[in-house]
Amino acid sequence: MVDVGILEQGMEQVVENGKATWRKWYSPTGLGRWIILFLKPPGEIPPELAKQTIEELFRLYSSSVVEVCEKYGFTIDSFRQVFNQQYVKSTVMKGKKIKPKVVVYGSAALDVYGDLERLPSADETVYVAETARYAGGMGANVAVALARLKVPVAFVGRIGSDSIGRTLLESLVKNGVDVSNVAITIQRSLQTLILRNSKGGRWLLALGSPNHALSVASPSEINWRQLDQSQIVYVGEVFTEVASTIASYAKNKGKTIIYRPGAPYLRLGLEKLQGILEHVNMFILNEAGWNSLQNSSEKPLKTPQELLAYGPETVILTKGKKGSTVHTKKGNYVMPVSADMRARYKTVDPTGAGDSLSAGLIKGLLQGWELEKAISFGQAAACIKCARMGTAPAFPTLDEVEVALKRNYQ
């Protein structure tokens, strides 16, 4: 057993009855301890011993992998990718499956925060101090924000099989989001670099390649039975052809469809989005998105009211702390954020505000509230989020929003 590496041996001097003598000892090696783990009942193995043994075996295995890579010209990255992929798949399988009231289709990304004094000029280097990292991405944010408001929700999207993908997936699972239909891809996960300066300036840079959108890319990635179980379908950053298919199917099933695409999709122009808008109940966009849609569309657009002609029953234009404008076929009105709410929740980080508002709005719709009340609930959720740094951990709980609204009306 010593020869095959299961035991190691040695000699030590011991004193018995006043006489010194040499005694031979044997002790299990890392491999030997691994074998013991299989031979003994799990309840008899101390957790620390099990952890130590597994780590030693992994080191032994890793050194063999390195030797194979060097001998046959493989890259360590290819093995790391396989490991990450299996880990991510295991996390998906372990996540709880629920009957969702809302299914969210969109993307997930890691938000990397950095501080700088100013943006660089051409060929100039400016130091950026990384301050934090948070799980984010518009679709994943909405799913997490809904879960924190006690809404049964499922997220459908694509996540890369890398360390970032693990972080994103673990955040969703930790918050109780159903990830059973998340697709795992060999692509790197998305990252968003959020730069801020001392004067309150903010710049968002998406890190990826032109074809890097880790979103729903094919109808084959959709569990239609899961969609059938839901009441509301939220469509975010999804390729237009697939978004149209989802919206059309959901409409035929009598679901409420909310469409809130990111800026890259709004820059495609109204003509590219028509096939989606004709099926949706509610279209949500912010001021920057509205400007992008206006500038990218062949047909001139003067007001969001004109978008109603393309299918939506309601168009909501969000304007941050200024509130929202609501456009329906019955007319338009403004939903301001109360002065008390603005004063109580000073903006620290607006990232994810629109995601929190959308989640709060959806929560209200599920409760059967009138649109104005649902929007007010969403605005309160957004205000609380803006007063905190980050995205996923910063979304408010249901109790926090209810307390904020109660204080607002006292």
| pLDDT tens column, 82-91 | 777 788 888 7
Residue at 60 is within a domain = yes
The phi-psi region of residue 305 (left if phi > 0; otherwise alpha if psi is between -120 and 50; otherwise beta) is alpha
> What's the pLDDT score for residue 26?
84
Express each pLDDT in 103-151 by its tens digit: 999 989 999 999 998 888 888 999 999 999 999 999 999 999 999 999 9
Asked whether the beta carbons of 377 and 353 are under 8 A apart, the reply is no
Express each pLDDT in 357-387 by its tens digit: 999 999 999 999 999 999 999 999 999 999 9
Residue at 336 is within a domain = no
Distance CA 17, CA 147 (A): 71
> What's the pLDDT score for residue 78?
75
Q: Which letter, b or e, does each residue of 339-349 get, where b requires 16 or more Cβ atoms within 10 Å of its Cβ? A: eebbeebeeeb
Residue at 28 is within a domain = yes
CB proximity list for 256: less than 8 A, separation 6 or greater: 231, 232, 233, 281, 282, 365
In 3-state terms the chain splits into helix, strand, coil percentages (rounded to 5) of: 45, 20, 35
Domain of 49 in residue numbering reads as 7-74
Express each pLDDT in 16-61 by its tens digit: 887 888 888 888 887 777 777 777 777 777 788 778 777 877 777 7
> What's the pLDDT score for residue 49?
75
Express each pLDDT in 285-343 by its tens digit: 999 999 999 999 998 899 999 999 999 999 999 999 899 999 999 999 999 998 889 89
Express each pLDDT in 155-195 by its tens digit: 999 888 888 888 999 999 999 999 998 888 877 888 889 99
pLDDT higher than 50, residue 63: yes
Residue at 47 is within a domain = yes
pLDDT higher than 60, residue 409: no
What letter would DSSP give residue 311? S
Number of domains in the chain: 1
Residue at 86 is within a domain = no
Name the residue with higher pLDDT: 183 or 407: 183
Among residues 276, 295, 279, which one has the least CA distance to residue 287? 295
Rounded to two decimals, the pTM is 0.83
The whole-number average pLDDT for the span 232-261 is 94
Q: DSSP strand E in 48-177: where?
A: 102-105, 109-115, 129-136, 153-156, 158-160
Residue at 354 is within a domain = no
pLDDT higher than 70, residue 217: no
- Residue 193, classified by CB atoms within 10 Å of its CB into exposed (0-12), middle (13-18) or buried (19+), is middle
Q: How confident is the model at residue 275 (pLDDT cuts 50, 70, 90)?
A: very high
Residue at 25 is within a domain = yes
Among residues 353, 355, 337, 357, which one has the least CA distance to residue 387? 353
Residue at 405 is within a domain = no
